[in-house]
Amino acid sequence: MTAIPLRPLNPLAGVETSVKDRLADLQARAQGRDAKGILHLALVEEFPGKSAIVSSFAAESVVLLHLTAEIDPSTPVLFLNTGKLFGETLRYRDRVQDVLGLTDIRAIGPHPADRAKSDPEGTLWSRDTDACCDFRKVVPLRKALEGFDASVTGRKRFQTNARSNMEPVEYFEGRFRFNPLVNWTHDELMAYIEDYKLPKHPLVMDGYPSIGCMPCTRRVASGGSYRDGRWAGSDKEECGIHVGVGGEGI
The total number of structural domains that make up the chain:
1
Q: Does residue 79 fall inside a structural domain?
A: yes
Does the annotation mark 239 as catalytic? yes
CATH number at residue 198: 3.40.50.620
Q: Give the span between the Cα atoms of 70 and 49, in whole angstroms.
A: 16
Instruction: Give pLDDT tens digits for 17-48.
Output: 789 999 999 999 999 999 999 999 999 999 99
Residue 240 lies in a domain: no
Residue 241 lies in a domain: no
* pLDDT reported for residue 97: 98
Q: Please report whether residue 227 resides in a domain.
A: no
- 56 assigned to some structural domain: yes
Is residue 156 one of the residues assigned to a domain?
Answer: yes
Domain that holds residue 157: 14-216
At 146-202, the pLDDT tens digits run: 999 999 999 888 776 767 678 999 998 899 999 999 999 989 999 999 999 999 999
Q: Which residues pair with 230 in a beta bridge?
A: 217
Is 130:137 a contact under the CB 8 Å cutoff? no
Q: Does residue 92 belong to any structural domain of this protein?
A: yes
Residue among 64, 237, 65 nearest 159 (CA) = 237
Say if 234 falls within a structural domain.
Answer: no
Contact 201, 217 (CB under 8 A): no
